[in-house]
Amino acid sequence: MTKQYINRGDRPTKEGFAEGLLASGIRHPEVMVIGADITASVGANLFAQRFPNRFISLGIAEQNCMGVAAGLALEGKIPVFATYGVFAALRTTDQIRVSVCYNNLHVVIGGAHAGLSVGADGATHQALEDLAVMRVLPNMTVLSPCDATQTKIAVQQAIHQVTGPVYIRFGRAPVSDFTRDNQVVEVGKGQLLHPGNDLTIIATGHMVWEALQAAYLLQEEKISVRVINIHTVKPIDQEIIVMAARETHAIITAEEHQVTGGLGGAVAEVLGREYPVPMRLIGMPDRFGESGEPAELMKKFGLTGQTIIQTAKELLELKSK
């Protein structure tokens, strides 16, 4: 019998960010947090309440915030800047590239409300291109944890283990919290969550739970599916990806992000170079999102376990020819 992960309750991944940030602040006095007028909304409130002298709110001036973060890092601090992912990753791209990445500074960037989980805020606030933009920048580490518990751990690792710039992606809507509190999360190493031999689903962020549910249902149909959680999109774990390709000979990627340039693109780059196999990418189909309830949007755009199941069956049929 394979292990079946159980949802301990739905929690926004931003809660994990808040808990990890507070834990790091207690552990390390050099941690400072920069806000952009939406402190509680992005999970920086716990830190701000506990350490008001180490929290700076600079208002709606994200590019300025990134410049200040770079300056703090040059002075030996560990700055954490958090705001909506569309602003953290996209509005400040020039400052991140030149001030932070070019100097390889240890600045931690929290991209909140990523994916479709912003819901009713609509297309302008749904970060669906941030993984692509952040992973192309030299020296940048890109983290995309799967639930609140893993986000808490990832934040602490970003602060205490990584030495250069880090982008952490997390969301607002409550999602299944299913990973263990004592899990080993190693930056740059994927996690094998479910064994299988017929095909592999490689997922990141909120889509990891959907991948697991698809694997359980396919198992009832005697289809053996491997599920891998890629919580580190960059540097990506090439070893676990190539091994999956060699052993299952078919790969599906699943992400709450544009189908171009994110996890699917990163996995395709590895396989195209090392071990090409039939592959399908599940993500936003090269379009903007829209306003609506997060769960309804995920269903509308095919970011569900049912879409994974259908894609898996089509890929297996192709594989058998």
pLDDT at residue 43 above 80? yes
pLDDT at residue 141 above 80? yes
pLDDT at residue 1 above 50? no
pLDDT at 117: 81
| Amino acid sitting at position 7 | N
pLDDT at residue 182 above 90? no
pLDDT in tens, 296-306: 999 999 999 99
Per-residue pLDDT, averaged over 76-84, amounts to: 97
**Which residue pairs, CB below 8 angstroms and at least 24 apart, start in 133-136?**
133/89, 133/90, 133/93, 133/261, 134/89, 134/96, 134/167, 134/234, 135/233, 135/234, 135/261, 135/262, 135/266, 136/261
Structural domains for the chain: 10-176 (3.40.50.970), 191-320 (3.40.50.920)
pLDDT at 4: 83
pLDDT in tens, 105-134: 999 999 999 999 888 889 999 999 999 999
Question: What is the residue whose two structure tokens read 């190693």?
Answer: 186
Instruction: For the chain, give the mean pLDDT.
Output: 95
pLDDT in tens, 253-276: 999 999 999 999 999 999 999 999
pLDDT at residue 27 above 90? yes
Per-residue pLDDT, averaged over 11-21, amounts to: 96
